[in-house]
Amino acid sequence: MKTILHVVGARPNFMKVAPVMAALARFDDIRQLLVDTGQHYDEAMAGIFLKEFGLPAPDRSLGVGSASHAVQTARVMTAFEAVCLELAPDLVIVVGDVNSTMAATLVAAKLRIPVAHVEAGLRSRDRAMPEEINRIVTDCLADVLLTPSPDGRENLIAEGVPADRIHHVGNVMIDTLLRFLPAATLDRIADRVPSVRGRYAVLTLHRPSNVDERATFTGIASALATIARTMPIVFPVHPRTESRIAEFGLTRALDGVCLTPPLGYVDFLSLTSNAALVLTDSGGLQEESTALGIPCLTLRENTERPITVTQGTNRVVGTRCEDIVAAFHDVQRHPPARRRPDLWDGRAGPRVASVLHEFLCG
């Protein structure tokens, strides 16, 4: 019997680990344990995801909470080292690019425990993004690198990762999306979000480079106010973003935007899958909108998911007010072609499970 530790810490991690755990459950020679670092630590940000995805209660909850990058990483490392010494896993699985991902990888590597990274090889080429540092460090130390798209393999090979460690398995987030899409109807959220199918835009904003910089956020808010005069915008507000709106005095600037509390996964999918447009700085939503065939404007200067631009419905437009508004009008005139990338088919979880079972058990 081989023991696997799955590490989650932030909202996107739950939707990535769920299909992997479900697929590994078919092997009777593998025991799976779930460790929640508590990087996103309240019910609205994490607890509801465990319930929606049918994940088991975490076997260990580290409760690290919010802090600076250094403090949060150190807390995860200290607590996760004790878990590894206690449980002696044969493999640690990390997902995505959050601080918990890198911290758990560092601990496991120093304890000589193999690491598998789900969603390996993504690069924005922007080291001002903390997530980019997390990706690079994790991939440098991981023993099994599971990529969602061909560019991931190309990036890893260019960085000197041996080819036999890299496995193109597809996008596990799309497994979760396709699993829950039939339940994602506007009726679920009609009592909270006034919307008509195909007649509104969905907005998410949370990156510090956008919401912590007054001038940048003010410019984005101005663009949103302009767009909202043409198309209603629904904005489930991240807690950090909500505090910045108040701090920067942007409440009035966003009067035309429908602000809602954070939504659970299926409720949010109900919102996005019935929208005409997505505006976001989230990496995951770039992928989901591509899978759904919905135009997406990414409010950043770069993306670590270029396949959503070259094959999907995404367009990286930056953060300047005039550029965002111009891109909005252009996408209304020229909607992008709809094509789902290879292996974004709802079967990435089983492919991951097969690779990991072969790695552990031969």
Please identify every residue annotated as catalytic: 206
Is residue 38 within 8 Å of 61, Cβ to Cβ? yes
DSSP state of 345: S
349-361 burial, b for 16+ CB within 10 Å, e for fewer? bbbbbebbbebbe
Helical H segments across the chain, by residue range:
11-24, 48-53, 69-87, 99-110, 130-141, 150-158, 172-180, 208-211, 214-228, 239-247, 265-273, 283-292, 307-310, 321-333, 348-361
Q: Residue 61 forms beta bridges with which residues?
A: 36
Q: Tokens representing 209?
A: 């480079």
User: What tokens does 55 get?
Assistant: 């994940």
Residue at 239: amino acid letter? P
H or E, element range at 156: helix 150-158
Q: What is the DSSP letter of 105?
A: H
C-alpha span between 51 and 337 (Å, rounded)? 35
Q: What whole-number distance in Å separates Cα of residue 275 and Cα of residue 281? A: 17
